[in-house]
Amino acid sequence: MSEAVAQTVASRFSELYGAEPHGVWAAPGRVNLIGEHTDYNDGFVMPFALPHTAVAAVARRDDGILRLHSADVESGVTELRLDALSPESDKTWTAYPAGVVWALREAGHAITGADIHLSSTVPSGAGLSSSAALEVVVALALNDLFSLGLRGWQLARLCQRAENVYVGAPVGIMDQTASACCETGHALFLDTRDLSQKQIPFDLAAEGMRLLVVDTQVKHSHSEGEYGKRRAGCEKGAALLGVDALRDIPYADLDAALARLGDEEEVRRLVRHIVTENARVERVVSLLESGETRAIGPVLIEGHASLRDDFRISCPELDLVVDTALASGALGARMTGGGFGGSAIVLAEEQDVDAITKTVTEAFASAGFTTPRVFEAVPSPGARRLH
Ligand code: ADP
Ligand code: MG
């Protein structure tokens, strides 16, 4: 399967650039099981990799030129000079791969040029991290072709810097680390403060369960501004409480922290979400480690309520997925990703999957919403060389 994909992407590379690529790499999108908006609070997250990947065929060049092409965008080959790359100069898709090259060079790595052809099956803008997949696949290819010897977490940091500074999007570190470091059959328990990580076995099929991703296919236009407000609110909370990040408030101290915030109602809600969400990640880890997989369902449901009522980043489409799935027998469900659209996840017994899918789809039709895309998410490999 991945051999066939690698062949297709390599042949297209040859048509475009008139020579064989030096290799083909893949990096996945991700879905986050639990730990939402904690990554910019130095907290815990727990993503796993999707089978959907960005694939890159790449050849190195030594003349200071970067050429970029995507099979998924209606434009030809973009040619850039490495010494002209500059942050926030590009508002198109090429900013993601060019930003990675810029970040590597900024960090002192001697990248001398490349021809890159990309093709991705990660749905774009669905909260499944198509942008991180694109960045990480380029970073991994250049790491190999220029023998940089960087580890997955180091590539993730550079990709985050590319997205923060070059693209100009204030994202946390979860997506890039997930794409770079996840492993088949596992969820990644990641401490975003120091990037220490633990692979947690997560094989639902072996226990007769499934995890569905429901892509609502909507993205509400105010999502970026709201993300910035939540980040700013969390920073304000940390400052008022005298800590570096909200991660530093232990769950046991939550009530005392909330009392100290007095009438800062908005900040209190944000703080409560982050502190309880970090505790939920730890609960899910310990339940999975003790084999109590079904018991994570209620934790996911609580996580959704916290995002809806305290963090206030859900929307009618996401709430409808969660409410309908739970009403038709799901073990747990919650929105995942940034919010205001994108995707929700549903944990269900295998035999309930068809009924849940049907009920959710019908509920969307009755509400007049766009038909959602439902697929099963199996924990898949992280970034790797295919060819
Ligand atoms: P998400 O990461 O949740 O999918 P983002 O807004 O962070 O959403 O990233 C989506 C952007 O990434 C797209 O607008 C596009 O610029 C870029 N992108 C994603 N996939 C591709 C692709 N296959 N080819 C070119 N650009 C892509
Ligand atoms: Mg993204």
Q: Which residue minimizes the CA distance to atom 2 of ligand 1?
A: 129
Whether residue 221 is annotated as binding a ligand: the answer is: no
Contacts for 307 with CB less than 8 Å, ≥ 6 apart: 36, 37, 273, 313, 314, 334, 335, 339
Mutate to test the pocket of ligand 1, among 131, 213, 224, 336 (most ligand atoms within 8 A of CB): 131
Is the sign of the CA dihedral 42, 306, 216, 322 positive or negative?
Answer: positive
CA of 131 to the centre of ligand 2 (A): 4
Q: Is 129 in the pocket of ligand 1 (CB under 6 A)?
A: yes
Q: Tell me how far apart the alpha carbons of residues 127 and 159 are, in angstroms, rounded to a whole number.
A: 17
CB of 323 sitting under 6 A from ligand 1? no
d(CA 291, CA 201): 10
Q: Which ligand does the CA of 122 lie closest to?
A: 1
pLDDT over 70 (residue 177): yes
Closest ligand 1 atom, residue 337 Cα:
3
Tokens of 364: 């969307």
Atom 16 (ligand 1): residue with closest C-alpha? 93
Is there a binding annotation on residue 38? yes
Q: Whose CA is nearest to atom 8 of ligand 1?
A: 125
Residue 227 lies in a domain: no
Residue-range definition of the domain harbouring residue 68: 2-199+381-385
130 lines ligand 1 (CB under 6 A): yes
Residue 229 lies in a domain: no
CATH code for position 36: 3.30.230.10
212 is annotated as contributing to ligand binding: no
Domain count, the chain: 1
CA distance 48 to 51: 10
143 domain residue, yes or no: yes
Residue 115, beta-bridge partner list: 59, 67
pLDDT of residue 83 exceeding 80: yes
**Do 25 and 140 meet the contact criterion of CB atoms below 8 Å apart?**
yes
Active site residues: 175
Instruction: Report whether residue 380 contacts ligand 1, using a CB cutoff of 6 Å.
Output: no
* Gap from CA of 133 to ligand 1 centroid (Å): 9
In a domain, 166, yes or no: yes
The structure's pTM equals 0.96
Ligand nearest to the CA of 68: 1
CA–CA gap between residue 165 and residue 160 (Å, rounded)? 8
Q: What pLDDT score does 221 carry? A: 84
Say if 35 falls within a structural domain.
Answer: yes
Place of tokens 């017994």: 349
Does residue 26 surpass a pLDDT of 90?
yes
pLDDT in tens, 343-375: 999 999 999 999 999 999 999 999 999 999 999
Q: Does 330 reside within a domain?
A: no
**Integer Cα distance of 57 and 7 in angstroms:** 9
pLDDT above 70 for 1: no
In a domain, 25, yes or no: yes
Q: Is residue 359 part of a domain?
A: no
pLDDT digits (tens, 9 = 90+) for 231-269: 999 999 999 999 999 999 999 999 999 999 999 999 999
Is residue 145 a known part of a binding site? no
CB within 8 Å of 158: residues ≥ 6 apart: 100, 103, 104, 107, 139, 150
CB 12 within 8 A of CB 339: no
